[in-house]
Amino acid sequence: MSFMKFGLWQVDAAQSFWTGAGTLWVFSAAVSAMDPPRTGDSSFYRWLYRFTHLLAANLDRALRPVLVPEQKQASISNKEE
């Protein structure tokens, strides 16, 4: 692999990350801006509201950083050994 190709790969990876982050931010803002369904709204809007909020919550949950088990135990435990 040449240096030039490696440099282009890094630019593409960074661009893909920022494109994905921007898309996720726009999606999150659009979901947050939705009005809650009221009585008399169509069943499709109620379904769409629930579906988009569920999708946004699962994306947030899936992309949240995970602690390594040793770090988690050390941060919770305040007992001396």
CA distance to 3, 40, 42, 50, 65, per residue, from 30 (Å): 41, 22, 19, 13, 23
Give the integer Cα–Cα distance in Å for 22 and 6: 24
More confident residue, 79 or 54: 54
SS3 content of the chain, % helix, strand, coil (to 5): 75, 0, 25
Residue 57: band (very low, low, confident or very high) from pLDDT cuts 50, 70, 90: confident
More confident residue, 45 or 81: 45
Q: Which tokens belong to 9?
A: 């790969």
What digits encode the pLDDT tens for the residues 9-55? 555 777 788 888 888 889 989 999 999 999 999 999 999 999 999 99
